[in-house]
Amino acid sequence: MRIDLNGIPTEVAAANLGDALMALGYGSTALATALNGVFIPAAGRATTLLHEGDRVEVLAPMQGG
């Protein structure tokens, strides 16, 4: 299925968010995720199913003011 990952159309085979991140190469633990604008805690990624057209945001620590 095709999802929108950080604003980029991305093809994923995994059924849930946790597996999708793993398959896409996100290995770090210092990540936060949101699905369609809703925060998904790390513990909930494996049980969060993905659907065609979902908007996934994957964020990491960055400098800020």
Partner 1 sequence: MRLYDVEISSRLLLGTAQYPSPLVLTDAIAASGCGVITVSLRRETANGGGGNGFWPLLQATGAHILPNTAGCHSAREAITTAQMAREVFGTNWIKLEVIGNADTLQPDPFALVEAARVLCADGFAVFPYTTEDLIVAERLLDAGCRVLMPWGAPIGSGRGLRHVDALTAMRGHFNGVPLIIDAGIGAPSQAAQAMEMGFDAVLLNTAVAKAGDPVAMAQAFGQAVAAGRLAFEAGLMPPRDMAVPSTPVLGMADLGLGGVR
Q: Which residues sit at the interface with partner 1, rule CB under 8 A?
A: 6-7, 24-28, 30-34, 37-39, 41-42, 57-65
Would you say 56 and 1 are in contact if contact means Cβ atoms under 8 Å apart? no
What DSSP state is assigned to residue 30? S
How far from chain centre, in Å, is Cα 28?
A: 13
How far is Cα 34 from Cα 17, in angstroms, rounded to an integer? 10
Shortest Cβ 21–partner 1 spacing (Å)? 9
Shortest Cβ 13–partner 1 spacing (Å)? 15
Shortest Cβ 49–partner 1 spacing (Å)? 19
Closer to partner 1 at the Cβ: 15 or 32?
32
